[in-house]
Amino acid sequence: MNEIKNRGWSVTMAGLGINLALGILYTWSIFKQTIKESVMAKDGVFNWDMASLNDPFAVCCLMFTVAMIFAGRLQDKLSPRLTAVIGGILTGAGLIVISQSNALFAWILGFGVLTGLGLGFGYASATPPAIKWFPSSKTGMIAGIVVAGFGLASVYIAPLANFLIANFGLSRSMLIFGVSFLAVVCILSMFLVNPPDGYVPADAAPTADAAAMPATPAADFAPLQMLKTAAFYKLWFMYFIGAGAALIIIGGVAGMAKKSMGDLAWMVVALMAIGNAGGRIVAGVISDKIGRTKTLLIMMSLQSAIIFTLLFIGESEALLLVAAATMVGFNYGTNLSLFPSVTKDYFGLKNFGINYGLLFSAWGIGGFIFPRVSQMIVARTGSQHTAYLLCSILLAAAAILSLTTEAPGASERKQTVWGQFMEKIAFSSAQPVDVYLGSRHL
């Protein structure tokens, strides 16, 4: 039998490249700031209501998560290559649509619905095939590398968008992005491939969570089976809070920095992107060493503290704002490597695409609700402080919840292991007595 060539690293790099294109989502705050300035100037270009500024972004997040469920099933059953091509076409089409109109409806349809669906299909195609080529001991690291592209994208998209908007206007900039990303994603999709059935990665080793669960679950969970576990809903709530709270900052960071940094506000977006990408890789590596739930506890607690400090940072304090935004991005990024990794650990690889798609609905719903509610609070009060305080409290609750989260059946396995251990102790203690009594009868 011929040895199967491991294509793990080529698949990983292709997934990284696809996410580098799709990460335009995190540059929304720059587009939003341009629209906001037009609305406030009443120049007739964008006639939107101020409370609706985040609507395209919120709808995009929601459509992203809807697409992840269907795209996850598609890449599980058919091909990650096909899934990525669909993603590239939809993303490009959405950006081209908004290049043709400044109406709110067009932006909700183009950026919100089409691009949102495209991002979901493209994102769903990248991580699953990559981690399937590697052992469980490297799941966190590989997931972190692939999804780092999505977070890192703003490092180049933010200054590029700033340049294009200044020289060509917002509409033409969207057209350039749309055509470019359509081509890039479709080309890179050709490198995505799942390992053949029965493939077992070399050097498989147990993860740090081995005491609580096996490196490979005893059974692969079907979606309906997963939905019957308490672990799924605990993970869902933590993902909902962790993603939603940070997306408030990510969606408005350019506007926050505008007063203190002027035209250089895009630098905050870029630095947040570096933090975002770094968080994905660092959390993936750390969680491979100390376990997923312990890493979640650390990151949720830290994010709660950082968002709380935003209550005391003024818009004119540029250095503190940059530092806080970078840390928010870092902690947000940890979610995007921890939750796919824990999905594989808890529920298996066979249905990983759709299972993670279902869990990822927490990201989309959080991304829809939190920015929308935040924008309503700002429109009513003129300040984000109430939203920051609420997010900080919810993140602290999520950190506490992580302490009670474990793999399905972990308690039963612990009891079984403990029973086997006690049985061995009892047998070892009784054996000398039996031997002694036996010798006396002789």
Name the pTM for this structure: 0.70
Say what the pLDDT of residue 433 is.
43
% of the chain at pLDDT higher than 70: 83
Write down the domain spans for the chain.
Answer: 8-195+208-410
Higher pLDDT, 29 or 361: 361
Residue 97: band (very low, low, confident or very high) from pLDDT cuts 50, 70, 90: very high
Higher pLDDT, 253 or 225: 225
Say what the pLDDT of residue 264 is.
66
Please write the tens of the pLDDT for every residue from 394-436. Answer: 999 999 998 988 888 765 555 444 445 445 555 454 455 444 4
Range name among 2-6, 369-373, 390-394, 426-430 with the lowest pLDDT average: 426-430
Residue 240: band (very low, low, confident or very high) from pLDDT cuts 50, 70, 90: very high
Residue 207: band (very low, low, confident or very high) from pLDDT cuts 50, 70, 90: very low
CATH superfamily ID and name for 8-195+208-410: MFS general substrate transporter like domains (1.20.1250.20)
Please write the tens of the pLDDT for every residue from 324-351. Answer: 878 888 888 888 888 988 898 899 878 8
Q: Return the CA Rg of the chain.
A: 24
Structure tokens at 164: 């294009």
Mean pLDDT for the chain overall: 80
